[in-house]
A and B are shown apart, each in its own frame.
Chain A
Amino acid sequence: MTPEVVAAIDEIRALFSDSVVGSEEDGEGGAYVTVTGLDIGPHYEPAIASCGFRIMFQYPRADVYPHYILGGVKRRGGQSCQGVQQVTWRQQEALQLSRRSNKLNPATDTAALKLVKVLEWFRNL
């Protein structure tokens, strides 16, 4: 992994200290990251889930998206939401959350902060 990707994963571990953060090299210097035990809010069943995403080797210049909510999570009431679609990610059923950062500042918009923002958005859908 590139030093920037390693630092990003360390920051995620520090910020999500109550969760388990797993990572796997993607063969290019980036990583597939999975954060488990996340509270995704009362609108979803189950309310605790994992989130996966890929950090590319050109991070922090490359945006981190989409994020994938793993483990067959369903919205209570069953209605669909804009920006969320059912996909398969790395052989797992997942909800794909496509939240692009159009004005990304590589110095401040880190992978950890992006995850915080995406989860916040998903909880409040």
Chain B
Amino acid sequence: MNIKLPISLTIDEQLFSRLQSHLFPGDYDEHGAVIAAGISQTARGTRLLAREIFPATDGVDYVPGTRGYRALTASFVAEQSDYCSSQDLCYLAVHNHGGIDSVAFSPDDLASHKRGYPALLQISNGIPVGALVFAKAAAAGEIWTTKGVFPLEHLTVVGKHTRRLYPSPQDAPRRSKKIYDRHTRLFGDIGQEILSGLKVVIIGLGGGGSLLNEWLSKLGIGHIVSIDFDRVDITNLPRIVGATRWDAKTWLTASRWEWLRRFGKRVAAHKVHVAERVAKKANPAIIYDAFVGDVLDAPTAELIRDADFIFLATDSIRSRLVFNALVHQYLIPGVQIGAKVTSDKYTREVTNIFTATRLVFPAVGGGCLECAGAIPASRLNSEGNNVEEQRAQNYVDDPQIGEPSVITLNVQSAAQAATDLMMMFTGLFESSADMGHIMNFARERRLNTVEPSPNPICPDCSTTKGSRKAQGDALRLPCRMRGN
């Protein structure tokens, strides 16, 4: 297996809390465990993804060592490493030291790695193995691969307060630019530096996505990837931030000649290119990748594997399935936003107007869209049918007629989503904050929070056999397979 550097480990907050409780029960002693992790090779390095932890029972699995203070027993190591290699997961032995924000392996630890890991690596089918050592707010690691031994660069805890742990405290942040003066009064230079280091993906650059794009650029996010296959249309102009009549080629698309109208639609600007223009105006230093493509296609979806956060701002249920898979398989938090207007089929009277902001963390009860019933199997089917088939099945009166859409509704769901991202990465959420899905019913002026109802055998968020959780590159994303 080729290893791209640096190597990092990502773990969800729930699993991290369990591990912390086991390692630091308050007795100031040393404890051990094993993490089974999926692997993802990305352009930003190798990401190890914690899927399960196996705490070692003191005195049974974690006993006084013959050379060091304590050690995992041979039988515990054999059992867990066998399990990991049978599941194509990376075996990571874990123990703790004292201290708070600095930690390193002891000479005894390093000597035991040299004795044990070459043999473990041989039986792991080429999958890396390694060791981690924790202090309360620090982590260090050594990863053994067929290409050499490499340090773990950092550990990311994904959750309400998404943060990184390093072996020792990092250098003080640089002073932020003057334009961010008012930001830093809220979350400091460190907060601004964290935001500038993020790679954020926006899927869908329509009404909601284009708002997010502008706000995130102004917030100082360092790297945005925007994905949309669509071009600007005259009916988008009241909603898409920065889109002009020139982008929509309105003088062509309003022509009385059909061929000219068709030509105008073909040469209108792609939504992602309008978004790129807006973002670079807001933050000339931004790294911006505009992709004309569909997240339903594997090469496009795979671009997202190394993101720090995903915004899903499309209307499609099929893209929700891919988004939910990315969140859980690659441990990337995300949020799905949308606005919906429902009307009576016969009278056409508006019955309901609501917006949704569904934050999804890669953990059981983290807001999984599958568990929330937001990915109906029937819609995954019907969205794949062509217009004639949809008409025949009476799904809609005319699938070619667009749904109602108004910028103020887009704002409602997008604003919550952008604020959630800022709060998560700068550590400003209260520990008691309710992270449920937020539904805003505009007609009733009513806000509802929908609590998660996790399915213990969910194919995405659970750890049942074959589920996506933290499997990384080992599983295929639920994308189209073209040209086969």
Q: Is the interface of B mostly helix, strand, loop or mixed?
A: loop
A29 touches B381 (CB 8 A): no
B378 touches A28 (CB 8 A): no
Residues of A contacting B380 with CB < 8 Å? 56, 58, 61-63
A104 touches B393 (CB 8 A): no
B377 touches A57 (CB 8 A): no
Interface residues of A in 1-21 (CB under 8 A from B): 1-3
| Docked complex Cα distance between A96 and B483 (Å) | 29
What are 7 A-B residue pairs whose CB atoms fall within 8 Å in the complex? A2-B481, A28-B480, A56-B380, A58-B318, A61-B478, A63-B378, A106-B377
| Docked complex Cα distance between A87 and B479 (Å) | 29
B484 touches A96 (CB 8 A): no
B45 at the A/B interface (Cβ < 8 Å)? no
Which 3 pairs show the lowest CB-CB distances between chains A and B?
Answer: A29-B481, A62-B380, A104-B377
A29 touches B377 (CB 8 A): no
Residues of A contacting B381 with CB < 8 Å? 56, 62-65
| Docked complex Cα distance between A100 and B395 (Å) | 12
B126 at the A/B interface (Cβ < 8 Å)? no
Instruction: Give the total of A residues in contact with B, Cβ under 8 Å.
Output: 28
A78 at the A/B interface (Cβ < 8 Å)? no
Residues of B contacting A46 with CB < 8 Å? none
| Docked complex Cα distance between A100 and B381 (Å) | 10
Residues of A contacting B478 with CB < 8 Å? 57-58, 61
* Contacting residue for A87 out of B318, B375, B392, B482, CB 8 A: B392
* Contacting residue for B384 out of A25, A62, A104, CB 8 A: A62
B393 touches A29 (CB 8 A): no
Tell whether A61 pairs with B321 under 8 Å between CB atoms, given A2-B476, A28-B480, A101-B377: yes
Nearest CB in chain B to that of A65: its residue: B381
Interface residues of B in 365-413 (CB under 8 A from A): 375, 377-378, 380-381, 384-385, 392-393
B480 touches A61 (CB 8 A): no
| Docked complex Cα distance between A84 and B194 (Å) | 58
* Contacting residue for B378 out of A25, A27, A30, A100, CB 8 A: A100
B267 at the A/B interface (Cβ < 8 Å)? no
Which among A29, A62, A98, A101 has the greatest number of chain B C-beta atoms within 10 A? A62
A66 at the A/B interface (Cβ < 8 Å)? yes
* Contacting residue for B457 out of A2, A27, A107, CB 8 A: A107
| Docked complex Cα distance between A64 and B321 (Å) | 16
A102 touches B481 (CB 8 A): no
| Docked complex Cα distance between A28 and B483 (Å) | 8
Residues of A contacting B459 with CB < 8 Å? 61, 106-107
The proximity string for B residues 84-97 relative to A, scoring 1 for CB distances below 8 Å and 0 otherwise, is 00000000000000
B392 touches A96 (CB 8 A): yes
Tell whether A63 pairs with B484 under 8 Å between CB atoms, given A58-B318, A96-B393, A106-B459: no
| Docked complex Cα distance between A38 and B386 (Å) | 27
| Docked complex Cα distance between A98 and B392 (Å) | 10
B375 touches A61 (CB 8 A): yes
B14 → chain A closest CB, angstroms:
24
- Beyond the given pairs A57-B481, A58-B384, A61-B478, 4 more chain A to chain B contacts, judged by CB atoms under 8 angstroms and listed by A's residue number, are A29-B484, A62-B377, A104-B378, A107-B457
Nearest CB in chain B to that of A102: its residue: B378
A58 touches B321 (CB 8 A): yes
Which among A2, A28, A61, A66 has the greatest number of chain B C-beta atoms within 10 A? A61
